[in-house]
Structure 1
Amino acid sequence: MRTSFKGLLCLSLALCASAAMAQAKLRAWNIHPDGYPVSEAMKSFVEQVSKSTGGRYNIELFNSGALGDQPKAVQMLKSGEIDVAEFSSGPLSDAVPGIKVLNLPFLFTDSAHMFRHLDGKLGERFSANLKSAGFVVLGWYDGGGRSFYCVKPVNNLRDLAGMNIRVQQSEVYIEMVKLMEAKPVALPFKDVLVALEQGKVDCAENNLPSYESTGHYKVAKNVYVTNHVISPEALVVSTKLWDKLSKEDKAAFAEAGAKSAILMRELWNKRVAAALEATTKQGSQFVKVKDVSPMVRRMGPLYGKYMADPTTREELLTIIAK
């Protein structure tokens, strides 16, 4: 049976077109459960990328840290095992030391203040530095304001003195608690509830949705609203993926990332309000700090350390100048 040249040419063109339309399968990671603001915003990102690229990118979203914890996910992103992820500022600051300033206490007055910087020149500088470290930032998410919650009532800074306070394994948080004349206890987040129940710690600190979703409010009903740390998180793609994208696809990913960041911030504010309502109904008592200046003065040695470090001085000066 003879096949005409014209037939072969048509077949070849059809195969090429089919290959061009083949989906690129990607994997996205985040540590939060289904329904959480981060997870919903990433879901929106996935859908927007698929729509904008005509379905050429099929991104499978893995929530709840299904592929591993955050340190492992960072390495997986850099190696190309995952392509998209949402990270807190902690692991990002390990890659780019200048970002450590974002974890300093009382640096931002609120999330709006933080995003004025991150959606502007400072965010551009952080993004450029992160790109050189293997992370391409598509959007800045809200990590929320952190406050203290304790088993016993806390009405002022003096009440925290001598208390055992659970903190992350972070030099900034450990030093912050020490400067408040309390005792930092570094524990994995999953162990906090039991530690509160057993009296191993008197207090912990975190954002309001975490306080509510973990059930910590059932034991530590006294919340001292300090918003001592307001920090961002970031939606990133690996530079390995980014470098493979066409100019048009890069634009599609960037647009989807920016839209997802706006959505996440809106969802976050709603989640905070819902957590406040739910915990108040369950008996949590909220005492808002009236004047943060005594706490800020206590942080002098911590600020001085970062001001003396050339890798963080410029970023710190940029933030406190506005």
Structure 2
Amino acid sequence: MTILCLGNLAAEAQTPLRAWNTHPDGYPVTEAMKSFIQEVDAATKGKYKIELFSNAVLGDQGKAVAMLKAGEIDVAEFNSAPLSEAAPGLKAFNLPFLFHDSAHMFRYLDGEMGTRLAETLKASGYVVLGWYDGGARSFYCANKPVTKRDDLVGQRIRVQQSEVYIEMVKLLGATPVVVPYKEVLDGFQKGTIDCAEGNMASYEATGHYKVAKYMLLDSHMISPEALVVSSKLWDRLSAEERTVFQKAGKKSAVLMRELWEKRSIAARAAVAKDGVQFANVQDFSPYIRKMSPLYTKYMTDPATRAELFAIVGNQ
């Protein structure tokens, strides 16, 4: 492991920091953050000791955002929802059926577009150190096989409290049902929902596959997450320290993506072994046409429109 050593930091007093994420121990995000913490600790010779609070033990994401801005936590890993409020251009990454896979998405985030979005986020208190993989989300159902878009028509599909997700399901001819994620399994068992949607790793980890064995691999949503530090912390760091944090953040992002891919492959193998039936989407054009009203709505925001045009224009 390559460590950037900063000799002039050795004599500095130790500075304790706090890091937050919503995932359990062993999850790709958590393990990548541990790697980041170790890199920073080694490169600053122990000046920055970061304590990781995983599994949302300090509160949910909404509370964590407020804590980061108040300086009560220093490092966090957020999904794109709160970040897109600060950087409207990021909303383009929350729209369905835009990316073929995660590599397609990172082609933009690892380039000029990602740099531009990071600059906007910085002005709102978030300093992006690395773009993480939020995973590809697909639909899965309990009561019948789903092999094409029309199979979703009339189904009651669990969605998170998100305007985009609710509108997407409506445009597909289904009924959105907003249910807390921890209650999805119970919803399937009680018959209050027919389908849900999520990434492969969560589908396996939550046990949803045990009651909803039909998955339509449409990857309708591929969104980023981000490892960030607060601007309050960033402003206190020296130029050398910022370089340490940036390098450690980029390395953790690469690790997270690798761990996520392995986790997703393993999860798919595990649920397939348990009898889950998968269907691949061959033609996405009918889905994209159905989403036209949703795209049009978000085109009204200049920042979102600019990024959306850049993505669609390079498909």
- For residue 236 of structure 2, give the secondary structure of its aligned residue in structure 1: coil
Q: 1:115 aligns with which of 91, 106, 111?
A: 106
1:203-240 Cα shifts (integer Å, max 9, x gaps): 00000001000110011010010000101000000000
Q: 1:267 aligns with which of 255, 259, 266?
A: 259
- How far has the Cα of 1:20 moved from its partner? 4.6
Rounded to whole Å, the distance in 2 between the matches of 1:21 and 1:238 is: 21
* 1:218 correspondence with 2:210: yes
Q: Is the 8 A contact 2:9 2:44 kept in 1?
A: no
Amino acid at match of 1:190: K
Amino acid at match of 1:294: P
Q: Which residue of 1 aligns with 2:238?
A: 246
- For residue 74 of structure 1, give the secondary structure of its aligned residue in structure 2: helix
Q: Which residue of 1 aligns with 2:3?
A: none
Rounded to whole Å, the distance in 2 between the matches of 1:306 and 1:122 is: 18
Give the fraction of aligned pairs with identical amino acids, expressed as a percent. Answer: 63
Q: Which residue of 1 aligns with 2:137?
A: 146
Q: 2:53 aligns with which of 58, 62, 82?
A: 62
1:1-322 residue pairs with structure 2 within 5 A? 20-151=11-142, 152-322=144-314
Rounded to whole Å, the distance in 2 between the matches of 1:77 and 1:43 is: 19
Rounded to whole Å, the distance in 2 between the matches of 1:18 and 1:116 is: 36
Q: Return 5+ residue gaps in structure 2 as ranges.
A: 1-7
- How far has the Cα of 1:312 moved from its partner? 1.0
- For residue 211 of structure 1, give the secondary structure of its aligned residue in structure 2: helix
- For residue 243 of structure 1, give the secondary structure of its aligned residue in structure 2: helix
TM-score by length of structure 2 reads 0.95
- For residue 181 of structure 1, give the secondary structure of its aligned residue in structure 2: coil
Rounded to whole Å, the distance in 1 between the matches of 2:9 and 2:177 is: 58
Rounded to whole Å, the distance in 2 between the matches of 1:192 and 1:240 is: 38
- For residue 146 of structure 2, give the secondary structure of its aligned residue in structure 1: coil
Distance 1:49 1:18, change over 3 A: closer
Rounded to whole Å, the distance in 1 between the matches of 2:94 and 2:263 is: 22
Aligned residues: 306
Distance 1:113 1:72, change over 3 A: same
1:228-280 Cα shifts (integer Å, max 9, x gaps): 01010000000000000000000000000000000000000000000001101
Distance 1:136 1:192, change over 3 A: same
C-alpha RMSD of the superposition: 1.3
Q: Which residue of 2 aligns with 1:14?
A: none
Rounded to whole Å, the distance in 1 between the matches of 2:209 and 2:127 is: 37
Q: Return 5+ residue gaps in structure 1 as ranges.
A: 1-16
Amino acid at match of 1:180: L
- For residue 34 of structure 2, give the secondary structure of its aligned residue in structure 1: helix
- For residue 200 of structure 1, give the secondary structure of its aligned residue in structure 2: coil
